[in-house]
């Protein structure tokens, strides 16, 4: 499917959420770089092949907004984890009263995404931007995973859902997820915009994820009602 076949559109989202939302720093206390550094150091120490290139496996917003220097990118296939909207967002893309929901990797199945090879030699300096972005809200756990690519397998860092977090939704059905996405909006924008950018990026890359395609249609129905 192509981005043109989406029923969820930027115009539909803008009509549903025309007003900006102020940031509420009390909605989610984020970790500082000093608090994040020990966990990053442990992750780097657990990595096999210290001289091997650093790879990150992206399946959500990192695909369309990586915010780090990229030396190479490949379409990758990860087994044992699947992409799912299962992490509540009470800040950034939602509020405590109307949380949004964002993607994480949950157990089982498989996922196609993008493997990024990062540019730079110092693992801590190279990984801290993505570590800060994904780990500051305590919603994810970091894993080194084997990713299959057309050019051969790579070991990549990725971020799976932290099931112990109070942000983990569990196995909500797709209509319930769509309800939350349709109403959630934070200071970074609507939760529906996050879905729109992600499904558009997947379509442009030739990645068809039935979960995303069903959700975009369900959210479009709700926003257009």
DSSP string, 12-34: HHHHH--S-----GGG-PPPPHH
Asked whether the beta carbons of 86 and 168 are under 8 A apart, the reply is yes
- On whether the CB atoms of residues 16 and 190 are closer than 8 A, the answer is yes
> What number of residues does the chain have?
225
Q: In the chain, at which residue ranges do the beta strands (DSSP E only) sit?
A: 55-58, 70-89, 100-118, 140-149, 154-161, 185-186, 189-190
Instruction: Kindly list the catalytic residues.
Output: 134
* CA 213/CA 6 separation, integer angstroms: 8
């Amino acid at each position: 499917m192509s981005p043109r076949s989406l029923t969820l559109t930027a115009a539909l989202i803008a009509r549903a959420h025309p007003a900006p939302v102020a940031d509420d720093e009390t909605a989610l206390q984020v970790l500082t770089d000093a608090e994040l550094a020990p966990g990053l150091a442990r992750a780097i120490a657990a990595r096999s092949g210290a001289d091997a290139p650093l790879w990150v496996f992206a399946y959500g917003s990192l695909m369309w907004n990586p915010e780090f220097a990229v030396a190479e990118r490949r379409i990758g296939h990860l087994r044992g984890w699947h992409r799912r909207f299962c992490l509540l967002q009470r800040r950034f893309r939602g509020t405590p009263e109307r949380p949004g929901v964002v993607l994480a990797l949950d157990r089982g199945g498989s996922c196609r995404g993008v493997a990024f090879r990062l540019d730079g030699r110092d693992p801590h300096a190279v990984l801290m931007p993505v570590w800060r972005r994904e780990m500051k809200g305590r919603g994810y756990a970091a894993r080194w995973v084997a990713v299959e690519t057309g050019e051969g397998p790579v070991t990549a860092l990725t971020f799976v859902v932290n099931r112990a977090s109070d942000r983990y939704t569990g196995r909500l059905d797709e209509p319930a997820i769509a309800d939350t996405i349709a109403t959630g909006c934070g200071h970074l924008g609507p939760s529906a915009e996050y879905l729109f950018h992600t499904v558009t990026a997947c379509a442009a890359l030739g990645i068809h994820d039935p979960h995303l395609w069903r959700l975009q249609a369900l959210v479009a129905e709700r926003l257009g009602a």
